[in-house]
Structure 1
C-alpha cells in the first residue's frame, strides 16, 4: 500500500470487493491503517516547523485521497476521520508556531550583554533592544501572514475549518502574549506564582540590563505590537464563532495591554531595586571600613564617592541605551543653591553660622524636621520610562541608604568635614544626570545633616578650603579622562 498510488489502491479495493464480497471488513482496516500512517508522517513533519503552505499541500492531497477511497469503501468513513485529524494537526501547527516565536524572542533576550565594571560597548544594548522589538512585532506579523493561508482558499477542507482556524489564531495570540509575559518574569528572576518558583532564574545571575530591556519591551508590546495584531486580526481573521461564547471572546487586547502595563512597571521597579541594592551593598562595605571617630583631616574626596560614581555611570550607560530621553529643561537656580561655588551655598553658610551650643543644635533639628516633612512627598515621585526618571530614582534610593549608613556612625570633626566635602563634590558631579536637581540636593544635604547629628564636634570646613579640595578633585578627573577613554 505504501508504494501504490491512490488510483491503484481504489482499483484493487474494487476488485477485491467483487471477487471477495466478505473482504470489506479487512479492507476497511487496511484503509484506516493507511491513512493513520500517512497522517502520522504529517505530524512528524510538524516538529520541523514547516510552512503553512507546505502543510496545506500535504493535507489537501490526503483529503482528496480520502474522498477517492470513500467512493469505494464509504463504510471506512475516511472523510470524517481526515477532517478530525486535520483539525488536530492544524491546531497543533498553530500552537507550535507560537512556541517557536516565543523561543526566538527568548533567544534574543538571553543574549543581552551584561555590564562589566560599569561599562558597555557603545550601542550594544540599544542594538539588542531594537532586535527584540523587531523580533516581537515582525514575528507576529509573519505568523498572521502565514496563518492567512489556512483560511484563504475555497477547497472543501478549508471551508469546513475556516471558523475554527480563525478562533484558534485569535486564541493563540491571547495565549502567546500571556505565556510570553510569564516567560519574561522567569527571565527576570521573578516568578508570578509559587508553582513557578523552581523555574525562575537565580536573581543574582540575572543581568540588570535584561530586566531594563524587559520593562521597555513591555511598553513596546502594549503600545505598538498589540494594536498592530488587533488591527490585523480584525482585518483578516474576523468572524469565527465556532468557539463557545460562554468562554468570552478569544482575543481580548485590553486585557493583554493591562497585563503588559503592569509587568512593565514591575520590571522597571525591579531594575531600580536591583541596582540600588547592589550599589548600597558596596557603599555599606566601603563606608563602614574607616574609623570615622578617628578620621584625619580631609585631603581629598573619599574613595567611596569614586565607587558610587563608577557604579552610577554603569546605570547611566544602561539606561541611555534602552530608555528614551527627556528633553532637557532650562535649569534655573533653585532654593537649594545649584551653583558650583561653595561660598554661595546656603547649606554651607547656614552650617558656618551654626554654633555648637545646645540651643543652636535644637534649632537645627527643628529646621531639619520641618524641611523633611515639607519636602517628603516631593522626593520620591512616580517613576517614568525615561532616562532621567530612572537615573534619579536609583540615585535617590542610594542617597537614602547612604544617609542610614551615616546615622550608624560616630564622627569626629574631621570625619564630619570629610562627609561635607564628599556631598558637595557629589552635588557638582550628579546634577547633570538627573531631572530633579532640587530633590538630589536636598538628599545630599540630608546626608550631611545626618553626619552633623552624629558628630562630636560639628564644625564645617571653611569655604576656601572646600573649594580648593573640590577643584583639585575635578582637575584630577580631567587629567585622567583621556586615559579612561
Structure 2
C-alpha cells in the first residue's frame, strides 16, 4: 500500500505546483506560520494555504482506524482524478485563448504596415492647404480693411438717416398707436441727441420732442381712460417711465383702476363658475366634450397687471399684497356663502380649484405676498365649516323627519312605523352621503386640499362624535326635555312642549336603540375604511353607551306620558262625584271604557314599533300570598255589622304584614307586552292612591268594586303579569273599603249580572262598529 501511495503523492504535489504557478499565488500568503498552525491543526486544513501534509497524515492516523484510512484513500483518489480532469480542461481552454490572441496580434501587425505611409501623405496635404490659405489672406488683407471701413460708414449713414427720419417715423407710430415702438425709437436716438442735439441734429431733436410730447399726452389719456384694460394702462405707465416722465402722480390712479378691475374680475369669475356648473350638469352622462369655461383670461390679465405695477412701482409692495389678499379673501367668502347654502362637494372642489389656480399664478409674480400660506389658512376655515355644516344639515333633516309625526298625525293615527323607517333611512343615508362627499374632496388632486388631508380626516371623526352628542340632545328636546344652548332655542319654534305626541317619544326610543345596535357599527366601519391616517380614530363605545341609556330613558318617558294622561282621567273620575251621597250602582262607570280605550291606543302605538316579547303569563293563586280571597269573604260576612267590618279591616292590615312579597314593578323591556303592562300597573297604582283620598258610602264602595271586577275580566287576557294586575285591583278595592263608612260588598250574583250585562253591550257595540 505504501508503494501505491508514493506516485499518488507525487502526482498531487505536481498538480498543486502547476495550479500555484498558473494562478501566481503570492509565496507570502501560501507560507504560514508553522507553530501557530500546528497547535490548532485539524482535518479541515487540507483546503487552506497553510496545509502541512506530514502533520495532516499524523493527525489522520491518530484519529482514524484502518478501515477509515482505506475509505479516506478511496475518496482522495477520486478527488485527485476530478482535479486532474479539471486541470486538463483548464489547460485546453487557456491554450485555445492563447492561439486566438496570437492570431489577433498577427492581423493587427498586417493592418498597421501601410498606415505610416498614409499618415505622411496626409501631413503633406495639410501643409499645402495651410500655405495656400496664408497666401489668400495676405492678398485680401487690404481689401478686407477697405470693406470694413465701408461697412462702418454705411451703418453711420443709416443712423444719420434714422435720426433725420425720426420725426416722420414717430408720426407714423402715433397714427398706428404703436406707442411702444415710438418710445423705443426715441430712447434709441437719445444718445445722439445728447451728443449732437445742439449742433448737427438740432432741428431733428426739436421735431422729435414735439412729436413725443403728443405721445406722452396720449399715454396719459390712456392711463385715465376707463375703456382701456388694466394691462394697457400698466403698459402706458411703463412707457412713460422709460421717457423719464414723473409717474408717481399716476400711482394712486392706477391702483384705483386695479381695484376696480379686481371687482370686475370677481364678477366674471362668478359668472364663469356658474356657467361651469351648468355646463357640467347639462353634459352629465354624455360622451361629448364636457370641459367647462374657465376664467383663465381675466385672471391672466390681472396677474400681468400686478406684475407690471410691481415693476413700475417697486415701493408699492404692501399695497399689492393687501390687494391680492383681498382678492383671495373674497373668493373664500363666496365659497363660505355657498357652503351655507349646502353646496355640493363637486361644486366646492371646482371653486377651490379656481381659487388655487389664481393663487399659484399670482404667487409667481408676487411671491412677497405669501399667498399660498394665506390661502391655506382661509381654506382651513372654509373646509372645516363645510364639514360642520354637513353634520348640522344632517341633524336638521333627522329632526324634520321626526317632526312629521306632530304635523301629520293626531291621536292614534300617528304614522309611527313610517316615521321610524324614515328617520333610520335619513340617518344612515345622510351619514353615508357626508362621508362620500368628503371622500370626493380628498380624492381630488388639488394642492389646497392635499395639505389639509389629515386635518379633514380629523374633522370628520370629531364631527361624528359631536354629531351624535348633538343628536342625543336634540332627541331629548324633542321628547320634552329642556336642552340649554343654541340648538334648543332653534327647536323652540318648531316644537311646542305641551303638545308633544307620546308616539314621537316612542319613535325616538326605538331610534336610539337602532343607533346603539346597528347604526354605530356601520358608520364606524365606513369611517375606518375610508378615513384612516389622520388624527384620533372615532371610538364608538361611549356613543353606544349614551344611546343605550337614552333608549331606556325615552321608553320610560313614553310610559310616564301615557300614564299621566290616563291618571288625569282617573283623578277627574274620583274627584268629581260626591261619594258620600253616591247612588246604588247600576252599571260599570264610563271612565272604565275611557281607561280601556286609552290602553287600546297604547297597544296600537306599540304594535307599530315594538316587537313581541316572550309570552310569560303569571297567574294568580292562593299560594302566592294574596289576601284577596280572605278579604272578599270577610267583606261579604260583614254586610250587617259595620263594627265587625271594621274589625275585619284590622285583620286585613295584619295579613299584609305576613303575606308573601310580590314584585309589582319590574324592568321595562322594549317589547309590546312589557310597555303595556307597566302602564297598566302604574295606572292602577295611581287609582289606588286617588281612592285613598276619598270617603265612600256603601254604594260608592260597591261602584268601585263593580268597576274593578269588570277590569279584572277585560284585562285578564291581555295582561302579561296577571297576578300583579289582580293584586293591584284588589289593592284598589281594599283602599276603597278602608275609606268606606259601610264597606258592604255587592252580592256575587248581582256583581256577575252587572258585569255580564256590560260585556254583552260592549260586544254588541263592537259588532255594530265592525
| TM-score, with length taken from structure 2 | 0.57
**Structure 2 unmatched ranges of 5 or more:** 1-261, 269-296
Which position in structure 1 is the counterpart of 2:656? 368
Which position in structure 1 is the counterpart of 2:123? none
| 1:218–1:64 distance in 2 versus 1, CA, 3 Å | same
The superposition leaves residues 386-421 of structure 1 with CA deviations (integer Å, 9 ceiling, x where unpaired) of 121111111111111111121122223322222121
Give distance in 1, aligned partners of 2:447 and 2:582.
89
Does structure 1 conserve the Cα–Cα contact (< 8 Å) formed by 2:618 and 2:722?
Answer: no
RCO (CA 8 Å, sep 6+): is it higher in 1 or 2? 1
Shift of 1:22: 4.2
The superposition leaves residues 310-361 of structure 1 with CA deviations (integer Å, 9 ceiling, x where unpaired) of 22222222222232222434x4753179xxxxxxx95786456654525533
Does structure 2 conserve the Cα–Cα contact (< 8 Å) formed by 1:120 and 1:317?
Answer: no
Which residue among 464, 468, 472 is the counterpart of 2:753? 468
Which position in structure 2 is the counterpart of 1:49? 342
| 1:118–1:26 distance in 2 versus 1, CA, 3 Å | closer
The superposition leaves residues 2-37 of structure 1 with CA deviations (integer Å, 9 ceiling, x where unpaired) of 055322333333344445444544433332222222
| 1:202–1:168 distance in 2 versus 1, CA, 3 Å | same
| 1:90–1:58 distance in 2 versus 1, CA, 3 Å | same
Which position in structure 1 is the counterpart of 2:693? 408
Which position in structure 2 is the counterpart of 1:295? 582
Which position in structure 2 is the counterpart of 1:8? 301
Give distance in 2, aligned partners of 1:49 and 1:394.
45
Superposition pairs of residues 5-404 of structure 1, within 5 angstroms:
5-113=298-406, 119-120=412-413, 124-192=415-483, 203-241=497-535, 249=536, 251-329=538-616, 331=617, 333-335=619-621, 346=629, 350-351=633-634, 354-355=637-638, 357=644, 359-371=647-659, 374-375=661-662, 378-404=663-689
Give distance in 2, aligned partners of 1:418 and 1:42.
74
Which position in structure 2 is the counterpart of 1:426? 711
1:440 aligns with 2:739: no
Give distance in 2, aligned partners of 1:195 and 1:33.
32
| 1:288–1:222 distance in 2 versus 1, CA, 3 Å | same
State the secondary structure of the residue aligned to 2:717. Answer: coil
Superposition pairs of residues 439-458 of structure 1, within 5 angstroms:
439-458=724-743
Give distance in 2, aligned partners of 1:326 and 1:382.
13
Give distance in 1, aligned partners of 2:525 and 2:410.
44
**Structure 1 unmatched ranges of 5 or more:** 242-248, 338-344
| 1:115–1:140 distance in 2 versus 1, CA, 3 Å | closer
Shift of 1:446: 0.8
Shift of 1:462: 2.6
Paired residues in the alignment total 465
| 1:12–1:202 distance in 2 versus 1, CA, 3 Å | closer
Shift of 1:266: 2.0
Give distance in 1, aligned partners of 2:748 and 2:576.
28
Give distance in 2, aligned partners of 1:309 and 1:47.
51
Instruction: Compare 144-153 and 359-368 and name the one that shifted more.
Output: 359-368
Which position in structure 2 is the counterpart of 1:245? none
